[in-house]
Structure 1
Amino acid sequence: MRNLRFGFIAVLLLGLDASPVIAQGVTGSVQVGTLGIGAQVATPLASRINFRGGIDFQPVSFEVLADDVELDVELPAATVTAVVDLYPNESGFRLSAGVLYFGGSLGLEGAPTEDVELGNNVYTPAQVGTIRGSLGTSSLAPYAGFGWGNAVGTGFGFALDIGIAYHGTPEFSLEATGPVSSDPQFRRDLDAEAESANEDIPGVASVYPVLKLGLSYGF
């Protein structure tokens, strides 16, 4: 009976090792989503566990109109991702946890064409010059999410990732390049404008939504 029991356990272990979720080698993939356009590599760590690392770029800039000032907005240039995937079963569903590194902050820049009111004071475009703003967050953000598709395998495959990264409450700051930029009163007015914007930032802005669609190829 004892030998039979040990034999049964050995068969179970062999069956787990033979699971199709386990794959060998490295898989490369490309993806597009809320982090931009990027690429990543994946490799198995253990049974039903993979590691993925990648980088995404935001090749997007746009213009917005704020208080009659046209502003050029640039998103963070690059984001580095490192996550571990756990596959509870063989359906391709996965749970992911890891960290994101944001290489930069959201920036904006513009020059007023009309007088600007800051606080109780009015400044001319010549006095203000160019206004530069930055929406800063923590560079490192823990990530949690889920998705579908085994990133490690042979041939082509598709993948979907949905999750959130917590980068903390954003903080908005403003600078100007005009001749009054070093004036103490102007500095106080500009700081007050930035502080007012910070008070209007919703709490949900402390998390960054992550949605990715990917195409992979494994060797």
Structure 2
Amino acid sequence: MKPSLLKPAATTAALLVGLACVTAHAQEIPAPTSATEPSRFALVVEGGTVGFGPSVIYTINPKWTVTVGYTWLDHNYDVESDDNKYDGKLKLSNFKALANYHPWGGSFHFSGGVFATDNKIDVTLRPTERQTYKINGNEYSSTFINSLGGSATFEDDIAPYVGIGWAKNPANSGFSFYATLGVFFAGDASANLTATGPITLNPQFQSDLRAEERDINDDLEDLGAYPVAQLGVLYRF
């Protein structure tokens, strides 16, 4: 081959080798992608038997998530004893911290954890049409009682919780339905009644008032295992 033909051939070969090296190097670099993985966080706005408020869900992995949240509510809740029906107001304040297990990696999950509660019921007893109060079977004139009422609280501030729920699959972002069903165990109710007026100096009245407290506690016994039924809207980022 003539020397004049060797130079172009060598140049062409060098270009082909260089192009092959660049192509191989480019294959080692991952191709850019515009898709981003959804955030591990989801925000919930919920309402139900433990009140209304926000919650945050953090995804650990497809099987496990953690929920923390706070709910509150004030609403009327009448309380009865053997002799009386009290005007009551239930005041709810609950902070929750739950671990959620998604057995199939989807929206359904089992939950367990605790509720830090500050729940109470304020009660007020009104006199009858005859302007009397009936306490533990004994009648007392409203002439000697200016007011009678009090509050009932629950034994345990930290209440264990078990339940089930539905929340959006951690792999998918966007809005979805949210629900939980369960129960937390707040312990026994403890009522504390007080009265004002001249009758408060009467030992028999004080004994009857203590008996009335026990009757109220018996009526509130079912609330020691407090039902949780919450619905809401979830947004996973």
Shift of 1:180: 2.2
CA distance in structure 1 between the aligned counterparts of 2:214 and 2:81, rounded to whole angstroms:
16
Shift of 1:41: 1.0
CA distance in structure 2 between the aligned counterparts of 1:160 and 1:35, rounded to whole angstroms:
13
Shift of 1:24: 3.2
Partner-residue secondary structure (3-state), 2:200: coil
Q: 1:146 to 1:27 in 2, by over 3 A?
A: same
- CA-atom RMSD in angstroms: 2.7
Shift of 1:199: 4.3
Query: Does the CA-based 8 Å contact 1:167-1:206 persist in structure 2?
Result: yes
Query: Does the CA-based 8 Å contact 2:80-2:216 persist in structure 1?
Result: no
- Find out whether 1:76 has 2:91 as its counterpart: yes
TM-score by length of 1: 0.77
Shift of 1:121: 4.0
Partner-residue secondary structure (3-state), 1:181: helix
Q: Which residue of 2 aligns with 1:53?
A: 68
- Find out whether 1:145 has 2:163 as its counterpart: yes
Match of 2:209 among 168, 190, 197: 190
Q: Which residue of 1 aligns with 2:108?
A: 93
Query: Does the CA-based 8 Å contact 1:151-1:157 persist in structure 2?
Result: no
- Find out whether 1:33 has 2:48 as its counterpart: yes
Q: 1:65 to 1:206 in 2, by over 3 A?
A: closer
Q: Which residue of 2 aligns with 1:218?
A: 236
Which is greater in Rg? 2
Q: Which residue of 2 aligns with 1:162?
A: 181
Identity in percent: 28
Query: Does the CA-based 8 Å contact 2:77-2:90 persist in structure 1?
Result: no
Q: Which residue of 1 aligns with 2:126?
A: 111
TM-score by length of 2: 0.72
CA distance in structure 2 between the aligned counterparts of 1:133 and 1:111, rounded to whole angstroms:
12
CA distance in structure 1 between the aligned counterparts of 2:102 and 2:152, rounded to whole angstroms:
36
CA distance in structure 2 between the aligned counterparts of 1:109 and 1:66, rounded to whole angstroms:
12
Query: Does the CA-based 8 Å contact 1:53-1:82 persist in structure 2?
Result: yes
Q: Which runs of 5 or more structure 2 residues have no equivalent in the other structure?
A: 1-36
| Residue deviations 1:176-208 (CA, integer Å, cap 9, x gap) | 122323443321110012223434555x44201
| Residue deviations 1:76-96 (CA, integer Å, cap 9, x gap) | 231111111111113311000
Partner-residue secondary structure (3-state), 1:80: strand
Query: Does the CA-based 8 Å contact 1:161-1:210 persist in structure 2?
Result: yes
| Residue deviations 1:127-167 (CA, integer Å, cap 9, x gap) | 22222132221222100000112375521111110101011
Query: Does the CA-based 8 Å contact 2:48-2:231 persist in structure 1?
Result: yes
The letter for the 1-side match of 2:146 is: G
Shift of 1:59: 3.5
CA distance in structure 1 between the aligned counterparts of 2:65 and 2:51, rounded to whole angstroms:
23
Q: Which runs of 5 or more structure 1 residues have no equivalent in the other structure?
A: 1-21
- Find out whether 1:43 has 2:43 as its counterpart: no
Query: Does the CA-based 8 Å contact 2:191-2:213 persist in structure 1?
Result: yes
The letter for the 2-side match of 1:174 is: L
The total of aligned residue pairs comes to: 197
